[in-house]
Structure 1
């Protein structure tokens, strides 16, 4: 499979720790509901139906690259982290104004028999790989294409809780009452995630990110037991799987929201980039990382609701703290549906302007 030569490899160089003329810029959830053109293309389609339609996925993925011409240095494929539970046999639906809902959550270890522990990832998620290949072609080398998956602990939480939650009652019951069954489930999710990520690269993804969005719901000891070992497996096993497939490895990023206490361990976990939420002072994160990895982040997305003066001030503070090298500009979490596309554009312009200055 051949694609057009890459015209902008800034994010790949930054991820590998190579010199860059300015920090690359992209945003988590950059393809999404804040853009008016998103709603026109998605229309009345169900969310997961949209994800399973490669032509629509490609268009949605590229929308922000075209909307903010010259300001975004990467595209991330439009998809959802919950496709792994779906591939394992769970029925997940996206309910408007509610979020994802699992028809039958895993409430006790006796429910594990309902999962397909040996699912055929290539078959079950074939549409995702088609979408990546099509999008890579449609990008024409403008920017690299990122693939992703959910972190094992985060996916386990969804599979057990049945949707979003504030209490994590059932997930906490699992790890404290049935720790061995929890690890069996985490290992199964990890195995699928490794194959899913590797096949995304085979389809055309040039960089990968693992979203451990609920990492901060674990204390330091529990994170070391129920999250970190599986993230480490992903970081080390994906390159091994790529080698088996005859494919060169690609940079990999881990984003574990709220896991401020684990930054040192995450820097040693095998990933090339550690993405940060807004709980870190940039200078402190740089000091802890100490050149072991590149860093990504970390402005509070809520800043984009502020005035242009505040956005400028916060961008300058962030970028001065991280510096130019081994750094990728991003938000500390994803964009939100209520955000003003013009404000986001101003944010991106300021990031590029200060990036050239630093």
Structure 2
């Protein structure tokens, strides 16, 4: 039995006593204890691939802050790594692949990895984290979206202009669709395996969907997000397993995203929370959407901005407070304490959530 299921109930728009909170990238380099564990691991990838260490860093922010959910410590690129692309992390350059997918024969040879074999370390981590949480808060599993994974798979790493994948999109859309079809099935199997291992909610990060034109977004990102939503396990351990989708830069397409089949839509900071609720809040819960840079302001500024977001959402359930993107490595951990306390205190005081 969960001691605190406020996060899950908010995702399902059920009554809650306050607005729950978790933070994207909450186990990360802004925490000195995380940096110590990462140094002990020897590399980021070794940290991800050790269930013991992944459990340790997943729990670290929960020891500091009264967060309402834990999120599996992993990386969105574990799926293409399991496909044999050779993931590695270059110091100061981020993730890279030894074997990017660009030629037709490479695309045709792409296949769905078995998560119970190729991603066993992730599933073992999920099970171990669930046991360590001991029912304190729910555990979130996650994956990158098919288009976001394809960006890294085709580009070979991060990109300023996405010229390789967009070149494929406009020159050989059939090849890109083939990549997206394989990654979509891989993501479905991966997320369902996480649910079976113990994840109590799942999230799909569509980090680069917002770089597309409206037409291309519908065809190359949103369509596959909808296929994933339809393929997810909906019930486990006697209760609903909520799902969240987050397209960074997707504010123009909120109505379409809300129709994709997820229980909640994540929002970045470029859209007013009240406007988002008016547009889609009758269909889905909303997650977000404080600008991460607010955490570099004064404590008074943080409290004010938290109050603004809560007031914009208004009364009633269906809101999970979060940042509009991941917390940065330069954030002062004490500022996060101010944030967490403000969300819980002000949401109770303002009556924005209902008991």
Band of TM-score, shorter chain: over 0.9
1:136 aligns with 2:150: no
Provide the rounded CA distance (Å) in 2 between the counterparts of 1:265 and 1:118.
28
8 A Cα contact 2:141 2:199, kept in partner:
yes
Q: Quickly say closer, same or farther: Cα 1:247–1:82, change in 2 above 3 A.
A: farther
CA displacement 1:218-267 (0-9 Å, x = unmatched): 11111010001100011111137x78xx9865100001000111100111
Q: Which runs of no fewer than 5 residues in structure 1 stay unpaired?
A: none
Q: Quickly say closer, same or farther: Cα 1:305–1:124, change in 2 above 3 A.
A: same
1:281 aligns with 2:281: no
* Residues paired across the two proteins, number: 348
CA displacement 1:290-314 (0-9 Å, x = unmatched): 4100000001101111122221221
2:257 paired residue among 251, 255, 266: 266
Deviant stretches of 4+, over 4 Å:
246-249
8 A Cα contact 2:108 2:178, kept in partner:
no
CA displacement 1:113-145 (0-9 Å, x = unmatched): 453x14222100011010000100001111000
Larger displacement relative to structure 2 (153-162 or 302-311): 302-311
8 A Cα contact 1:202 1:247, kept in partner:
no
Q: Which runs of no fewer than 5 residues in structure 2 stay unpaired?
A: 351-355
1:349 aligns with 2:352: no
Provide the rounded CA distance (Å) in 2 between the counterparts of 1:85 and 1:169.
20
Provide the rounded CA distance (Å) in 2 between the counterparts of 1:347 and 1:118.
41
1:6 aligns with 2:2: yes
Larger displacement relative to structure 2 (318-327 or 335-344): 318-327
SS of structure 1 residue aligned to 2:335: helix
Look up the match of 1:91.
86
Look up the match of 1:313.
304
Q: TM-score, normalised by structure 2?
A: 0.95
Report matched runs for 1:46-65 at 5 Å. 46-65=43-62
Provide the rounded CA distance (Å) in 2 between the counterparts of 1:202 and 1:248.
13
User: Displacement, 1:274?
Assistant: 0.2
8 A Cα contact 2:94 2:158, kept in partner:
yes
Q: TM-score, normalised by structure 1?
A: 0.94
Provide the rounded CA distance (Å) in 2 between the counterparts of 1:54 and 1:30.
18
SS of structure 2 residue aligned to 1:132: helix
Provide the rounded CA distance (Å) in 2 between the counterparts of 1:132 and 1:141.
13
